[in-house]
C-alpha cells in the first residue's frame, strides 16, 4: 500500500492566530509530519503565516482554497491565483458550487488559470444526494470533468472525488463506492490523455475522512490521497490520522 497524500482544506475554520498555533504544533511533531506528503489550504489571510512555519518541511505544500476567475483587476475583496505564491489551488469545491453558484464554465476558467499560472490545481467533482439516488453519479462526474483541458503535459492535475452528501456530514462513502467512481474517472482520464500524462494526474477522495475511516480507505489502489475538511483543522485529529498511517 503506497502512502497517501493528506490535503487539508481548512475552509474558514482557523483564523490567522489559530493557523499559527496549528503550525507550531506541526513543528513540534516534525518527525511525524515529515513522513507524509501534505498539502495545506489555509484561509487566504493565513497563507503567508503557514508558509513561513512550513519552511523546514520540503514535504508540505501550501495552496489556496479558491481563486478569482480573473488574474488581476478591479475585484474588491477577491484573491487571484497570482495574489499569493502558492503550490496549488482548489477549484470547483461543492461549497463554491452551491454557496457561490459557481458553474462548470466559471470553474473551467479558474482551472485553466491555475494550470497556466502555477502549473497545478485540485478540481473537485461529486454528486449530490438526489443525484446519487437518481443513479446519476457517473453522468454528473462526466459533465464536471468535461471542462478538463485537452493538454496537461507537465502540469499537475489533482482530481478530488467528493460526494456532496459526504462533505461535512459524517457520512463516508463506502470503499466499494469510491473504488467504482475512481475507476470510472480513471477510464475517462485514459480516454482523454496519453499514457505519459497519467503520472501527472492524481486522484483524491474527500468527504468526512477522519481517523476512523482513513485506514480502510487507504487500501484503495487508485487513490493517491485524501482531501480532508474538518478533521484536518483539528490538530489532534490530523495527528491521529497520520499516526494511523505510519
What is the set of active-site residues? 93, 162
CB of 225 to ligand PEP, least distance (A): 12
Q: How many residues bind to ligand PEP according to rule CB under 6 A?
A: 13
CB of 124 to ligand PEP, least distance (A): 7
242 three-class SS = helix
206 three-class SS = strand
C-beta of 193 vs 225, nearer to ligand PEP: 225
120 three-class SS = strand
CB of 146 to ligand PEP, least distance (A): 21
Applying CB under 6 A, among 42, 92, 206, 225 the residue interacting with ligand PEP is: 206
Applying CB under 6 A, among 5, 9, 125, 156 the residue interacting with ligand PEP is: 9
Residue 111 and residue 123 in contact, taking contact as beta carbons nearer than 8 Å? yes
Distances (CA, A) of 170 to 46, 64, 161, 196, 212: 27, 24, 16, 37, 11
**Pattern of binders to ligand PEP over 143-162, x per CB under 6 A?**
-------------------x
125 counts as binding ligand PEP under rule CB under 6 A: no
Site for ligand PEP in 160-199 (CB under 6 A): 162, 167-168
Alpha helices, H only, 77-231? 94-99, 104-118, 129-133, 137-145, 175-192, 214-217
Ramachandran category for residue 92: left, alpha or beta (phi over 0 → left; psi -120 to 50 → alpha): left
C-beta of 223 vs 227, nearer to ligand PEP: 227
C-beta of 161 vs 193, nearer to ligand PEP: 161
C-beta of 47 vs 124, nearer to ligand PEP: 124
Please count the CA atoms within 13 angstroms of the CA of 119 that sit on its side-chain side: 5
DSSP class of residue 244? H
Interaction site with ligand PEP (CB under 6 A): 9, 162, 167-168, 206-209, 227-231
Amino acid at each position: 500500500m503506497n502512502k497517501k497524500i493528506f490535503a487539508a482544506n481548512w475552509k474558514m475554520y482557523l483564523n490567522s492566530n489559530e493557523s499559527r498555533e496549528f503550525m507550531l504544533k506541526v513543528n513540534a511533531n516534525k518527525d511525524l509530519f515529515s513522513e507524509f506528503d501534505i498539502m495545506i489550504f489555509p484561509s487566504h489571510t493565513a497563507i503567508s503565516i503557514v508558509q513561513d512555519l512550513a519552511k523546514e518541511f520540503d514535504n508540505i505544500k501550501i495552496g489556496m482554497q479558491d481563486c478569482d476567475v480573473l488574474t488581476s483587476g478591479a475585484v474588491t475583496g477577491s484573491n487571484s491565483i497570482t495574489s499569493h505564491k502558492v503550490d496549488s489551488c482548489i477549484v470547483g469545491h461543492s461549497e463554491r458550487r452551491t454557496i457561490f453558484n459557481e458553474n462548470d464554465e466559471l470553474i473551467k476558467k479558474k482551472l485553466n488559470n491555475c494550470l497556466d499560472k502555477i502549473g497545478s490545481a485540485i478540481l473537485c467533482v461529486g454528486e449530490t444526494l438526489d443525484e446519487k439516488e437518481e443513479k446519476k453519479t457517473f453522468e454528473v462526474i462526466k459533465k464536471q470533468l468535461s471542462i478538463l483541458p485537452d493538454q496537461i503535459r507537465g502540469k499537475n492535475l489533482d482530481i478530488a472525488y467528493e460526494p456532496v452528501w459526504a462533505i461535512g456530514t459524517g457520512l463516508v462513502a463506502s470503499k466499494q463506492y469510491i473504488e467504482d467512481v475512481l475507476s470510472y474517472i480513471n477510464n475517462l482520464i485514459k480516454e482523454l490523455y496519453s499514457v505519459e500524462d497519467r503520472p501527472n494526474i492524481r486522484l483524491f477522495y474527500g468527504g468526512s475522512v477522519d481517523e476512523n475511516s482513513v485506514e480502510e480507505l487507504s487500501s484503495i489502489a487508485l487513490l493517491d490521497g485524501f482531501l480532508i475538511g474538518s478533521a484536518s483543522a483539528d490538530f489532534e485529529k490530523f495527528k491521529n490520522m497520520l499516526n494511523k498511517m505510519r
